Amino acid sequence: MVPLWRRVASLEPGPLRAAGGLRVEVDGAAALLARAGTIVVPGWRGAAEPVPDTVCRALRRAHARGARVLSLCSGVFVLAAAGLLEGRRATTHWRYMDALRRAHPGIALEEDVLYVDEGSVLTAAGSAAGIDLCLHLVRGDFGLDAANSVARRLVVPLHRDGGQAQYVPRPVPTEREGARLGPLLDRMRARLDRPQPLPALAREAGMSLRTFLRRFRDATGCPPGEWLLRRRLDRARELLEGGARAAPVEEVAGLCGFGSAATLRHHFRRRFGLGPAAYRARFTGG
């Protein structure tokens, strides 16, 4: 008997043929969706391919009873057709963005992220970003140690820096520019607790401010301020997940360069949908 948590459901008779000619055996149909706690839509046939009403109804019923639903890459079109993304934030692979925006203008699309967590509905940018999203789920469900264990087994980082904009085709930075920005990014990570004004960063990189801002975005996919904010929030999450060793929110704010607990709370809620104290409670049981 295959455990429910790793069964494959299809509302069409199987086996299914996936991309690359792979054949996927099916374990069941709508009855599996009716029992599942988490449903993953790994992809769809294409942006212009209609999603059957039976699939949409099954997903809506599952979500309404409390199931968590997530999509990987083009699977976002299935969630969108089911109406589960209307008025929510979502993402998909950069090459599907325009088609999704035209077909479903009510979705708040985020282009420069690897995944979006809206609580009961989650979306990943692409196939590899699906690994990032699933590690995020493991981290939230089972804690940092479990997520680290899975990441090590997969030989992938627990969290990748930056968003998918860095993978959109663009001119490759020259070797000289890469050599200057790489070490600078390392130094910026090492001093997250300190102010890092843009003119000082540009001087450190040996560039004019205008050139620095352009080259930084080309290399990372976002401006320096946004890049620093993401790194600081990542560091704050690590400190808050310390279990019995978790630092107080005020201390975390100082160590991560937010200056005050109020500023940390503002950015944390905006990015993750809950405050740092509530986030810490997930990992400490408090």
What mean pLDDT comes out for the span 33-38? Answer: 90
pLDDT greater than 60 at residue 237: yes
Cα-based distances in Å from 158 to 8, 133, 138, 167, 252: 26, 10, 10, 19, 21
Active-site residue 73, yes or no? yes
pLDDT at 161: 57
The fraction of the chain above a pLDDT of 90, given in percent, is: 48
Mean pLDDT, the chain, rounded, equals: 85
- pLDDT at position 173: 47
User: Of 56, 73, 134, 222, which is the active-site residue?
Assistant: 73
State if pTM tops 0.75. Answer: no
**SS3 track for 33-96:** HHHCCEEEECCCCCCCCCCCHHHHHHHHHHHHCCCEEEEEHHHHHHHHHCCCCCCCEECCCHHH
- Higher local confidence (pLDDT), 280 or 228: 228
pLDDT, tens only, 70-100: 999 999 999 999 999 999 999 999 899 999 9
* Residue corresponding to tokens 């086996």: 15
Confidence of residue 224 (pLDDT cuts 50, 70, 90): very high
